[in-house]
Structure 1
Amino acid sequence: MVGPVTDTERLTLRQQQKQRTRAALLEAARRLFVERGYAAVTVDDVTSEVGCSRATFYLHFDGKPDVLRRIGAETTQQRAVSVYADLDAVLASGSRDRFTDWLRHALHWFEANRDILPVWDEAVALEPSFRPIATAAVAELPAAMPRYLQRWGPSRGDEARLRVGLLVTQLERFFTRWAVQGTLDTTDTDPAETLTDIWYPALLPPEERCSAEQG
């Protein structure tokens, strides 16, 4: 015989329902953002997809920018940990070939997340409140590279971070023009090799760059 539901069990059930609702809102928002673009989607569109009220939506999120931030949180964390932490190890190895392999892996990451990248760019362009979120997301990447930052030293930390930020920017723009828009033809070349020519020396501190060139 099944006994009465306890207060603890009721709380757990409510928590589970809340988590399911939040997950459904995130899934619906991502799908709509990808299908229609960031600007065209409203909070009412998202709640209609899930079948809940605006009040329920605002129990979970502050608004559209917060939803997109939450959608990107897992993706950004994945990038910082699995891609840029790997770059830290690659640069520490001093292997140019490993850096080329890393670039191929980074481009695969962009391919896996290509649907949400234009949404992110649109939000940055249109939503002032989203820009600090995007800025913080880029700032997390060099933070995942402690050995790289140590090699540049405290006095050149800002330059080191800027170089990583510029690398991120060029990879994003390259991927968009190459794989999304199709406006760059790389038929007879290996993009990773060309990007290595540009970025492998650019990420080395000046004294290491000179040694690498002499070697």
Structure 2
Amino acid sequence: MVSVVTDSERPTLRQQQKQRTRTALLETARRLFVERGYAAVTIDDITSDVGCSRATFYLHFSGKPDVLRRISAETAQQRAVSVYADLDEVLGTGTRAEFTAWLRHAVEWFEENRDILPVWDEAVALEPSFRPIAAEAVAELPAAMPRYLQRWGEARSDEARLRVGLLVTQLERFFTRWAVQGTLDVADTDPAETLTDIWFPALLPPEARHSDLGR
């Protein structure tokens, strides 16, 4: 059945222009953040490049932390949640080899977002108001893993969430030092295999480790 969009459902010219302006602000802010760094970019820099006023900017965003949050939410966070939902599947029914494959998939996500990662780190360091936003983004990842949390049990849910948070942190720092900064030399090793040695057992509840480690 073909749905019919009525005139009342179509966006008005004003709404279309508003959306174009919002998109231009997001795209410009991302480009400037990546080129110059978070701290060096001002709201005036963004609005001047787009050709709009500060008042227009504030119609869409509450400030620089908010615009970075929107950039992350609309370009990276939804995909990140999907990656960790896949991890929930792997930990529930998968093998060690499948976990290694998942790690390679996770590194691909970092590769796709490598230009914005330093901006995110800088904002966390400099903007106290951005830290709750960053914390919420990390908290969404174990929330996408209900079977994993169930295996740990309600009494140990905080520990289970912490382990996922530590995994996220180590993967981010590994990727930054290896692929962005070039300060970590993996030589001829396979880092995914080494990370599997660390994290496959660490994400299993203690009572499940002996039965699952050999799979």
Q: TM-score, normalised by structure 2?
A: 0.93
**Which of 25-34 and 70-79 deviates more?**
70-79
Give the distance between the partners of 1:109 and 1:71, measured in 2 at CA. Answer: 15
Give the distance between the partners of 1:157 and 1:12, measured in 2 at CA. Answer: 47
Task: Check 1:20–1:214 CA distance in 2 against 1; reply closer, same or farther (3 A cut).
Answer: closer
Q: Name the structure 1 match of 2:81.
A: 80
Runs of 4+ in 1 over 6 A off after TM superposition: none
Aligned length: 208
Q: Map Cα deviations across residues 3-26 of structure 1 (whole Å, 9 max, x no partner).
A: xxxx95996111111000000000
Q: Which letter maps to 2:48?
A: S
Instruction: Extract unaligned runs of 5+ from structure 1.
Output: 1-6
Post-superposition shift, 1:94? 3.5
Q: Name the structure 1 match of 2:127.
A: 127
Give the distance between the partners of 1:8 and 1:141, measured in 2 at CA. Answer: 38
Instruction: Extract unaligned runs of 5+ from structure 2.
Output: 1-6
Q: Which letter maps to 1:79?
A: A
Q: Name the structure 2 match of 1:167.
A: 167
Q: Which letter maps to 1:177?
A: R
Give the distance between the partners of 1:93 and 1:201, measured in 2 at CA. Answer: 14
Contact 2:96–2:213 (Cα < 8 Å) also in 1: no
Give the distance between the partners of 1:78 and 1:128, measured in 2 at CA. Answer: 25
Contact 2:81–2:140 (Cα < 8 Å) also in 1: yes
Q: Name the structure 2 match of 1:106.
A: 106
Task: Check 1:13–1:214 CA distance in 2 against 1; reply closer, same or farther (3 A cut).
Answer: closer
Percent of aligned pairs with the same amino acid: 81
Post-superposition shift, 1:144? 0.4
Q: Name the structure 1 match of 2:193.
A: 193
Give the distance between the partners of 2:70 and 2:63, measured in 1 at CA. Answer: 11
Post-superposition shift, 1:211? 2.6
Give the distance between the partners of 1:42 and 1:126, measured in 2 at CA. Answer: 14
Task: Check 1:88–1:9 CA distance in 2 against 1; reply closer, same or farther (3 A cut).
Answer: closer
**Secondary structure at 1:47 match in 2:** helix
